[in-house]
Amino acid sequence: MDSLNRRMGSLSAIPMGVLLMLAFLAPLGVVAGFSIMPPNVFDLAHVPDFSAYVQVIEQGYWTSLAWSLGLAAASTLLLFIICWPLAFGMAKVFNRFTVVLLLAVVITLFVSENIRLFGWVLTLMKGGLIDGYLNAWFGLELSGALYNGPVIVLGLVYVYLPFMLFPLAQGIAMVPDDARQAAMDLGASRWRVFLEIDLPLASPGILVGSLISFVLAAGALAESKLLGGQEVIVIADDIESAFSYGQNWPLGSALAMVLILIVAALAIFGLSRIDLDRIMGRAG
């Protein structure tokens, strides 16, 4: 019976597997192919040329890559800190109010990311909303709030909060209340319960939320362009410039492949630490 179920499951997965091949692996293969083209050539039928990867190393693109990974890591950490109490409340405390909070978070996704980020620009810019009130009430001026790393992290946290919140709430919901109560009855402090009960048992949700948030933030472009200006250049800026302004498709593809490989390595490592059977509710 188990063999039949596995066979039926494999057959049922074929359509989705084909769709993933066409929608994900095929474009990725095209990008990989263009990354080994000679410069100024727009044809995949050629002898492999790795000069674009040499250019990535020699021209200091590691700085923008470091900015992307550093900002993604900082925003992911902040998202975890901010979302944990909200997720805990959704999973354990709020009951019916959870639906209200869920709707409030989901509704923000109905508005374009760029429009929401422009709202932050108008709020933080010199002469903007906050600066206007500070100047009118206290005679103070807000300067330097835009076009720096911290404000980009603010934008990343603001935009990607749902992608951390919902997996985290699911992970916390998997923590048995009996285990927490038993630990407290035995004299464990709230901090020790958090470290030794909540974090380990909620780790699948933590890893999923962290991976999704990190991957999205590492490739984010709008946040750096709108909130960072030209002060902070991330790898997505360089990729866009290489493809559009520079018309250097091999370089843009090589930069994209470097980012993809690094993020994929981190994602595979994280996924290897997740018990998918437990998440899906399957018995071991």
Please write the tens of the pLDDT for every residue from 48-104.
778 888 888 888 888 899 999 999 999 999 999 999 999 998 888 887 788 888 888
pLDDT tens digits for range 118-142: 888 888 887 777 777 777 677 666 6
| pLDDT for position 284 | 45
Neighbours of 54 (CB within 10 A): 11
In-domain check, residue 10: no
Name the domain count of the chain: 1
Residue pair 227/147 in contact (Cβ under 8 Å)? The answer is yes
pLDDT tens digits for range 226-254: 888 878 889 999 999 998 887 888 899 99
In-domain check, residue 97: yes
CA 253-53-225 angle, to 5 degrees, is: 50
pLDDT tens digits for range 156-210: 999 999 999 999 998 898 888 888 888 888 888 888 888 888 888 888 889 889 9
Q: For residues 255 and 56, what is the distance between their CA atoms, to the nearest angstrom?
A: 7
Question: What's the rounded mean pLDDT across residues 272-278?
Answer: 64
| pLDDT for position 144 | 65
In-domain check, residue 5: no
CATH code for the domain in which residue 215 is found: 1.10.3720.10
Q: For residues 200 and 177, what is the distance between their CA atoms, to the nearest angstrom?
A: 14
In-domain check, residue 276: yes
pLDDT mean across residues, the chain: 84
In-domain check, residue 40: no
% of the chain residues with pLDDT over 90: 26
Q: Residue 75: give the domain boundaries.
A: 52-280
pLDDT at 1 over 90: no
In-domain check, residue 222: yes
Question: Which has more confidence, 279 or 214?
Answer: 214
The residue assigned the tokens 């206007």 is: 132
In-domain check, residue 42: no
| pLDDT for position 283 | 42
In-domain check, residue 6: no
